[in-house]
Amino acid sequence: MPVRSNRPIGSATQVRGMPTELPTKYAYTRDFPYAGVRRGTCYRACTMLRRKLVGLAAAAVASVFAALGPAGCASPTLPLPPPALPTVAAGPDANHVRLSSTCGGVEGYALIVIVNENPAVPGDQAVGGSIADACGAWDATVYAHAGDVLDITQELDESASTPTRVLVR
């Protein structure tokens, strides 16, 4: 039986304890019964320290994921898609057009914002909008003439989509 020592086992390690023991007999392994008899190696001092360090590292990584997990799930992963191209029809008079989209055109209950990009259109008439129903269908009547470009976006909660551009004909 080796004598227990308080000095470091190696100059590069800080492990204190008994020196490494190597068996002198052949050992049979139960884990691999068909492997036959082979010479075994036992590292008593370093194995237990390594197991402890691996366990502490795994616990630290798990606690970081547990702390950041809810924050990652609460944030949206994908932006809102742009609205589908709406159908453009004549409006109630020559200065207006009616835009409409069927179910799936936008997200359900999204706010639809329509902006006429023509700088000659007065500011109070350049913006129009609607609120989609549960399936994402919507319609709106906006001030526009042939040749005007309309930017259509959808907003839901605190996110907005990129615009869909429609040329009025």
Structural domain span for residue 1:
1-75
**What residues form DSSP beta bridges with 159?**
156
Q: What is the domain-level CATH number for residue 130?
A: 2.60.40
Amino acid 78: pLDDT: 85
Amino acid 72: pLDDT: 56
Residues 96 and 123 in one domain: yes
Nearest to 86 by CA among 147, 160, 161, 165: 165
Residue 67 lies in a domain: yes
Amino acid 5: pLDDT: 54
Within the chain, which residues score under 70 in pLDDT? 1-53, 64, 67-77
- Total count of domains within the chain: 2
Instruction: List, as one string, the DSSP characters of 90-138.
Output: E-SSTTEEEEEE-TTSS-TTPEEEEEE--TTS-TTTSEEEEE--TTS-E
Amino acid 83: pLDDT: 97
Residue 82 lies in a domain: no
Residues 91 and 42 in one domain: no
Which of 28, 48, 75 is the C-terminal boundary of a domain?
A: 75
